[in-house]
C-alpha cells in the first residue's frame, strides 16, 4: 500500500521549454503532497507543499511563477517548470502523506531527472 507514482522518470529538453511532472497517489488519497529538489550527492530540499484544493505553499527562495504547482484532486499533483533553463536541471521528487496528522511518514515517487540543454 501507499504507492506514489511519478511521471516522467526522465526528461531531456531544450532551454525555454516548459516541463510538467505528475505525481499520483495510486492507492490512497493524499490531502498533502510535497515537491523536493535534489542536486547530485546532496540532500532533498523542500520546494513547496501542495494541498488539495488550495494554493501551494512555497519555501523561501522558490519562485512560484517558475515552479507552478497544481493539486486538483486527492490523487494528483503536478509541478510545471516554466521556461526551463540549464540551471533548472535537477532531480525532482514528490511525496505524499496519507493525511495531515502529525507523525505520518511520507511516501515518495521515484523522481524525475530533468536535463535542460
Partner 1 sequence: SQQGEEDPQALSIQEGENATMNCSYKTSINNLQWYRQNSGRGLVHLILIRSNEREKHSGRLRVTLDTSKKSSSLLITASRAADTASYFCATGFSGGYQKVTFGTGTKLQVIP
* Residue 100, C-alpha cell as written in the block: 495531515
Q: Supply the minimum distance, in Å, between the C-beta of residue 59 and partner 1.
A: 9
Helix (H) or strand (E) holding 77: strand 76-81
x-or-dash string of contact with partner 1, 56-85, rule CB under 8 A = ------------------------------
- For 83, which DSSP code? T
Per CB under 8 A, the segment of 14-22, 66-74, 78-86, 100-108 that binds partner 1 is 100-108
Q: Which is nearer to partner 1, 76 or 82 (CB)?
A: 76
Maximum Cα–Cα distance across the chain: 41
Interface pick for partner 1 out of 42, 73, 83, 115 (rule CB under 8 A) = 42
- Say how far apart CA 19 and CA 94 lie, in whole Å: 15
- For 14, which DSSP code? -
Beta bridge partners of 106: 97
Contact residues: partner 1, CB under 8 A: 4, 6, 31-32, 34, 36, 42-46, 49, 51, 91, 93, 95, 97, 100-111, 113
Amino acid at each position: 500500500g501507499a504507492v506514489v507514482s511519478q511521471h516522467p522518470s526522465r526528461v531531456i529538453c531544450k532551454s525555454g521549454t516548459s516541463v510538467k511532472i505528475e505525481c499520483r497517489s495510486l492507492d490512497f488519497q493524499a490531502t498533502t503532497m510535497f515537491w523536493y529538489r535534489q542536486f547530485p550527492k546532496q540532500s532533498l530540499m523542500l520546494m513547496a507543499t501542495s494541498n488539495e484544493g488550495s494554493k501551494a505553499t512555497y519555501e523561501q527562495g522558490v519562485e512560484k511563477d517558475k515552479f507552478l504547482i497544481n493539486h486538483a484532486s486527492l490523487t494528483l499533483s503536478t509541478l510545471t517548470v516554466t521556461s526551463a533553463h540549464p540551471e533548472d536541471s535537477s532531480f525532482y521528487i514528490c511525496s505524499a502523506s496519507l493525511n495531515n496528522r502529525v507523525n505520518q511518514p511520507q511516501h515518495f515517487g521515484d523522481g524525475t531527472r530533468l536535463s535542460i540543454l
